[in-house]
Amino acid sequence: MTPHFPPHQTMPGSQLLFTALNFGILLIVAALLVRNCRKHRDWLPAWLLIGGFIATLIEPVVDVVGLIWYPPQGNWAVLYMGGITVPLLCVAGYIWLYAALGGATYILLRNGANRSDLFKGFFGLMVFLMLVEFFGSGTGVYYYYGDQPLRIFGYVAYWGFINASVPVIIGVVSYLLRPHVTGWRMVFSIPVVPFVTGASFFGGGFPVWLAIYNAPLPWVVTQLAGVATCLLCTGGVWIATRAAPVQRTTPGTLSTGKTVAAAQPQH
């Protein structure tokens, strides 16, 4: 049974605050990222930002299958699809959360981070994102509707696992890719962001989405679907971290053992 859209039609005034919060985080993180790129002459993280902008196009599909609702009236919408309105704040959110933090994860790996560091970052990011989302969902900027599992007030906890897994996996993939993309070839790092974002959303979220589109199901079954999504996302991060060093490495070392300077194109 396809759930009906929730009755909430008007975007609250907190849209301004939540939009400002997302763009504020984006400006801070992007500025630090670009500064690091200039310092180390390694522009791969900056290319990822473009991928984050492109990945925003996934949001209307996720809203449909994940039963996420942004009230349409007064919505500063940038995308429309099938009755779904996606607000401007999502553009900033996708860029800082997935692309910029994915770039930051790449930098951490390049600077010597190991598997343990990545897992600490994964769980720490999860806690931070839950606090951010409590504001958005708690003030009515968006709603998780339908028979959602792991609901905590207006928030659903499984999204913390999905969202936190994306930048970690992007960072690891970028770390593996970096020795092979020098000079103009760094443009090929752009698709990493939409590809990994979509893979984490749908590869991790499908147990929940199967459950909520077959509601009503027994409460235990729905909750187990949520737990399955959390385990899938954690497993995805575990798989990705197998490519990270076991021990911390010398800063500036890439996955092949070369330094960033050695990987630069020769003229």
Average pLDDT (151-167) is: 93
Name the pLDDT band for 138 (thresholds 50, 70, 90): confident
The token duo for 221 is 């079954």
Cα(55)–Cα(191) distance, rounded to whole angstroms?
Answer: 9
DSSP state of 247: S
Average pLDDT (240-248) is: 82
pLDDT at position 135: 86
pLDDT digits (tens, 9 = 90+) for 208-219: 999 999 989 999
- What three-state secondary structure class fits 144? strand
Q: Look up the pTM and report it.
A: 0.90
Concatenated DSSP letters of 35-88: HHHHHHT--HHHHHHHHHHHHGGGHHHHHHHHTEE--SBT--EEEEETTEEEET
Reported as type and span, the H/E element at residue 85 is strand 84-87
State percent of the chain over pLDDT 90. Answer: 76
pLDDT at position 262: 47
pLDDT at position 254: 61
Cα(131)–Cα(267) distance, rounded to whole angstroms?
Answer: 48
Closest listed residue to residue 119, CA positions, set 254, 241, 242: 241
Average pLDDT (30-45) is: 95
